[in-house]
Amino acid sequence: MAEKKCKINANSTWQEMTPGGTIYDAANSLEFTTGDWRSRKPIWLQEKCKQCGLCVPTCPDSAIPVIEGGNRTDFNYDYCKGCGVCAKACPFNAISME
Amino acid sequence: MNKCKSIRERLSGNEAVANAMRQINPDVVAAFPITPSTEIPQYFSTFVNNGTVDTEFVPVESEHSAMSACVGASSAGGRVMTATSANGLSLMWEIIYIASSLRLPIVMACVNRAVSGPLNIHNDHSDSMGVRDSGWIQLYSETNQEAYDNMIMANRIAEHVDVHLPLMVCYDGFITSHSIENIELIDDESVKAFVGDYHPEHFLLNRDEPIAMGPLDVQPYLFEHKFQQGYAMKKAKDVILEVSKEFEEMTGRKYGLFEEYKMEDAEMAIVVLNSTAGTAKYTIDRLREKGMKVGLVKPRVYRPFPVYEIANALKNCKAIAVLDKADSLNGAGGPLYTDVTSAMYTSNITSPKVVNYIYGIGGRDVRSTDIEKVYNDLRYIIDTGDMGTPYRYLGLKG
């Protein structure tokens, strides 16, 4: 069934789609790139960033990846909707909104 | 299918339907009382409290909640039933569409009553006609026996793998729901064997297959999902006939897509739903004695609409009156009339003259003399060739 789920996309026919649009799998929101809706784009200014970590928990999605050691890396624009909360939370102006 | 034991009883329509639900013993019933369907949850809650069923009865605070609870319980994998009338069905409206689009085989007793306003609690078909395009199967019932029999067949039809659509069994408020008639019940064991257990392929409480139901369905998807619903509705026609055949083997009672009464040589026919068909049969017998070639077509399956079959049944008539107990208020005709004439035109059957009568609105009594008037009007149309206005009213004052 997972195979059927992955096959369904914007070009799928009615024969291929599941009845009622039911998704026969769990934890598949990663496949839905909600960042397509983004209105404004946050830019990470790495040279100003002190890696204080205040921005990370403010993200309503999972668009600020944290790597081993606890440091953040650049935005994951697949899921960032451009809300700008992270930019407000940053005490060092290390995030600018475009 | 083995023959059942037949139990002679005398019950009101609501008692008969509540007893069908007792015999089916569904997993969940969620309902809110509204006249004239109130007795169904009333009788059924007695069965629950007496322990004659294992059903979880959910006494909700509104019909919107009733249908929402049905959707939840059906999604979880349960066999689910409910009952309502008129404004109760109106309040369910939003979730009625959710139930059919999520392909949940919920079964409802819809005890037909006029939708307010002005406020009226008596019988017409404006409630179920309001949801005729919502993707629910609709079966109509002339008598207590037919309401009971349709209810016994309902789950098998709705839950069929080719169908998976909700289904409402409609019958006339008070006229059928509260009148006590002789009835033949099927023994409990035979009903249990006939209806069987419900094992959906996918359901929310299946821990081995986590699923998500009702996701956002944007432009590339909704069209295809609606087509799937319509496709299942078309398939339902054969499933209804299959289940009805098995039912006939068990009980000896035969059901098709519609009933034809004295149609073999009929020049004039009435097409009418539910209890008025009984009045029409009585009138037909009297007029036949006078030599009038009159007949009746009584649709049982209104959704899916039996387009070609009904057109074929009417093709040899010279004049036809379609009686609607709901006015579409559209300046064009009632819903059954629109469907019948459309069916005939698309089947290339255009020679019979077809007129429409809006009748019985808000429980206005319909007598055999009213039916006789309709046949006399049809006689006049045949004799003179003058159809007059096709959109008429029967029993309207003034």
Q: Residue B61: what pLDDT?
A: 97
Task: Kindly identify which residue of chain A lies nearest to residue B220, measuring between CA atoms.
Answer: A10
Q: For residue A5, which phi and psi values (nearest 5 degrees)?
A: -60, -45
Q: In this predicted structure, what is the pLDDT of residue A5?
A: 54
Give the integer Cα–Cα distance in Å for B326 and B154: 24
The radius of gyration of chain A's CA atoms, rounded to the nearest angstrom, is 18
pLDDT band at A1 (very low <50, low <70, confident <90, very high): very low
Q: Which CATH superfamily is domain B6-251 in?
A: Thiamin diphosphate (ThDP)-binding fold, Pyr/PP domains (3.40.50.970)
Paired strand residues for B108: B82, B168
| Nearest-by-CA chain B residue for A28 | B212
- Chains A, B: CB contacts within 8 A come to 56
- State the average pLDDT over residues B166-182: 98
* Yes or no, beta carbons of A20 and B212 under 8 Å apart: no
Q: pLDDT tens-digit profile of B122-156?
A: 999 999 999 999 999 999 999 999 999 999 999 99
Residue A41: pLDDT above 60?
yes
Between the alpha carbon of residue B322 and those of residues A41, B112, B208, B296, B374, the distances in Å are 63, 19, 52, 10, 10
Write the pLDDT tens digit of every residue in B199-231.
999 999 999 999 999 998 999 999 999 999 999
Quote the minimal CA–CA distance from B228 to chain A in Å. Answer: 7
Sequence-distant (6+) residues with CB within 8 A of A27 are none
Pick B248 or A10 by higher pLDDT: B248
Tell me the domain boundaries of chain B. Answer: 6-251, 258-394
Give yes or no for a contact between B126 and B114, defined as CB atoms under 8 angstroms apart.
yes
| Partners of residue A24 in chain B, C-beta under 8 Å | 202, 209, 211
Task: Say yes or no to pLDDT of B291 above 50.
Answer: yes
Instruction: Report the pLDDT value the prediction gives residue B295, as an integer from 0 to 100.
Output: 98
| Mean pLDDT in residue range B78-96 | 98
Q: Give per-residue pLDDT as tens, B338-374.
A: 999 999 999 999 999 999 999 999 999 999 999 999 9
Q: Which of B2-6, B35-39, B79-83, B238-242 has the least mean pLDDT?
A: B2-6
Q: Tell me: the pLDDT tens digits for B245-282?
A: 999 999 999 999 999 999 999 999 999 999 999 999 99
CA distance B297 to B144: 19
CATH architecture for segment(s) B258-394: 3-Layer(aba) Sandwich (3.40)
Q: Give the rounded percent of residues in chain B with a pLDDT score beyond 90.
A: 99
Token pair of A36 as six digits? 């397509």
Structural domains in chain A, CATH included, are: 1-32 (no CATH), 38-98 (3.30.70.20)
- Chain B interface with A: residues with Cβ < 8 Å: 101-103, 164, 202, 209-215, 217, 220-221, 224-225, 227-228, 231-232
Q: What is the pTM of this model?
A: 0.92
Say yes or no to pLDDT of A2 above 60: no
pLDDT at A3 > cutoff 70? no
Q: What is the mean pLDDT of residues B90-99?
A: 98
Instruction: Give the pLDDT of residue A6.
Output: 53
Interchain contact, A19 vs B228, CB within 8 Å: yes
Report the gap between the CA of B321 and the closest CA in chain A (Å).
Answer: 39
Specify the length of chain B in residues. Answer: 398
Tell me the average pLDDT across B378-396.
97
Q: What is the ipTM of this complex?
A: 0.91
B6-251 and B258-394, same CATH topology: yes
The predicted-structure confidence for A55-69, as pLDDT tens digits, reads as follows 999 999 989 999 999
User: How many CB atoms within 10 Å of residue B10?
Assistant: 11
Amino acid in the structure at residue B353: K
Instruction: Note whether A74 contacts B: Cβ–Cβ < 8 A.
Output: no
Look at residue A9 in the predicted model and tell me its pLDDT: 86
Q: Who contacts B158 (Cβ-Cβ below 8 Å, separation ≥6)?
A: B105, B106, B107, B137, B164, B165, B166, B167
The H-or-E segment that residue B181 falls in is strand B180-186
Mean pLDDT, chain A, rounded, equals: 91
The two structure tokens encoding residue B243: 């289940």
Mean pLDDT, chain B, as a whole number?
97
B131: left (phi over 0), alpha (psi -120 to 50) or beta: alpha
Provide mean pLDDT across the span A31-52: 93
Using 50, 70 and 90 to split pLDDT, how confident is the model at A95? very high
Q: Are strands B258-261 and B294-299 parallel, antiparallel or unpaired?
A: antiparallel
